[in-house]
Amino acid sequence: MDTTTDAAVTTRGLVKRYGANTALHGIDLDIPRGSVFGMIGPNGAGKTTTMRLLLDILRPSAGELRVLGETPRLGGAALRRRIGYLPGELHLATRVKGRELLAHYAEISGPVRPGAVDALADRLGVDLGRPVRSLSKGNKQKIGLIQAFMHEPELLVLDEPTSGLDPLVQQEFHAMLHEAKANGQTVFLSSHVLSEVQQTAHEIAILKQGRIVERSTVAALREDAVRHVRLVVAEADAAAARATLDALPGVSGVAPAGDGPGTVAFSATLDAHVDAFVKAVARLDVVDLTVEEPDLEEMVLAYYGTDLTADADAGDDAEGTTRKGARR
C-alpha cells in the first residue's frame, strides 16, 4: 500500500461485510499525524465499524489499513498502547470505583504520568471515589474519556466523544483536543453532526451508507457554503447595484430589502467566494454590507439526504465514492 510515514491512519478500499450486509464499501482515509480529523455521518453510516477496524476489534473483509505505521492485525498489545480509544457504547456497570477502574486500565494501556488521572478528573468534573455503575451517563462518559487520554497516546480514536456531556464539559473537552494537537497527538473523532467537530477538526469526511460522500477541510466547506448577503447603497447607485448583482456569477435571488433615508437595500444569495463579490460591489457607494455566517450544518444535512442508489446501481467503487472529489 502507498503510505506516507507522516500518516497516523491510512486505509485503502476498506470493506466490511456483516453477512449479507455491507457496512463499508471501500473507504480511503489518510489522517496526517498531529491533525484532528472528524468523521461525521447519520446512524448506521459505518463510523463505529471504521473505528473498530482500526483497533483490530473487527477485521476487514477486504482492503488495507495502517495505523501508526503498523497493520492492526499484527500490531498487538504494543500498538494498542499507542492508541487511546473511547468506544461509542460504554458498558461500565462495574461496582468498582472510578479510580480503581482507571488504575486497572492503566495496567493495560501503559505508563500514566503520576497525577494525570486526577488532573483529567478535575478538568472534566467527575468524582473518582464513586462506584462507576452509580454514575450518570455523562459522568461515565468522562471516565471513558479519562481512560482514552490518560496515557497521552499518539493516536486518539474517539467515537461520539461528546455524547451525554453538558456544554461546559464539552468546552473543556475541546480544550483537551487542542492541547492534544499541540502536543503532536493525532485525533480521529466521530459525530452525527458537524457542529461537534467543526470547532476542533481541521479536516472532515462525511460518511453515508458506508461510503465517503465528501472530504474537505472545514475552511473549504465554509468557503464553498451558500451565504445570505444584504447590501445597502446610496439611492443614486440603486440601478447600478441591481445591475452589478444581476450580472455577478454565483449571485442569485436578488431582491429589494427595504429602503432607508437616501439608501436602497438588496438581499441576495451568494454561491461563490466572498472575495469576488466584495470586489464587484466596491465600485458602488456602499452604505452597509452584511454577509451572514454560512450554515454548514445545513450543507452537511444536504449530503445526508443524497440518494446513493444511483451509485450503488452503477456498481461498487473500490476506491470509495467521493461525490465532489477530495478537496484540501
Ligand X SMILES: Nc1ncnc2c1ncn2[C@@H]1O[C@H](COP(=O)(O)OP(=O)(O)OP(=O)(O)O)[C@@H](O)[C@H]1O
Q: What is the Cα–Cα distance from 145 to 148, expressed in whole angstroms? A: 5
When asked if residue 189 is in the footprint of ligand X (CB under 6 A), the reply is no
- Please, what is the minimum distance in Å from the beta carbon of residue 47 to ligand X? 4
- Please, what is the minimum distance in Å from the beta carbon of residue 257 to ligand X? 40
- Please, what is the minimum distance in Å from the beta carbon of residue 210 to ligand X? 7
When asked if residue 191 is in the footprint of ligand X (CB under 6 A), the reply is no
Contact 32, 68 (CB under 8 A): no
Q: What is the Cα–Cα distance from 73 to 20, expressed in whole angstroms? A: 23
When asked if residue 41 is in the footprint of ligand X (CB under 6 A), the reply is yes
Bridge partners, residue 37, by sequence: 188, 203
Beta strands in 163-319 (DSSP E): 186-191, 203-208, 211-217, 227-234, 251-260, 263-270, 286-291
* Of 201 and 251, CB closest to ligand X: 201
When asked if residue 164 is in the footprint of ligand X (CB under 6 A), the reply is no
* Of 41 and 294, CB closest to ligand X: 41
Q: How many residues does the chain have?
A: 328
Report which of 62, 321, 300 is spatially closest to residue 194, judged by C-alpha positions: 300
Bridge partners, residue 263, by sequence: 234, 260
How many whole angstroms from its chain centre is CA 163? 14
How many whole angstroms from its chain centre is CA 12? 20
- Please, what is the minimum distance in Å from the beta carbon of residue 132 to ligand X? 22
* Of 96 and 193, CB closest to ligand X: 193
Q: Which stretch binds ligand X (CB under 6 A): 46-54, 60-68, 249-257, 267-275?
A: 46-54
Q: What DSSP string describes 127-144?
A: -TTSBGGGS-HHHHHHHH
- Please, what is the minimum distance in Å from the beta carbon of residue 288 to ligand X? 43
When asked if residue 112 is in the footprint of ligand X (CB under 6 A), the reply is no
Of residues 85-104, those binding ligand X (CB under 6 A): 88
* Of 51 and 265, CB closest to ligand X: 51
- Please, what is the minimum distance in Å from the beta carbon of residue 15 to ligand X? 12
Report which of 177, 193, 48, 199 is spatially closest to residue 124, judged by C-alpha positions: 177
- Please, what is the minimum distance in Å from the beta carbon of residue 295 to ligand X? 22
* Of 48 and 244, CB closest to ligand X: 48
Q: What is the Cα–Cα distance from 15 to 25, expressed in whole angstroms? A: 5
Of residues 3-32, those binding ligand X (CB under 6 A): 18, 21, 23
Contact 8, 186 (CB under 8 A): yes
Applying CB under 6 A, the residues found at the interface with ligand X are: 18, 21, 23, 41, 43-49, 88, 192
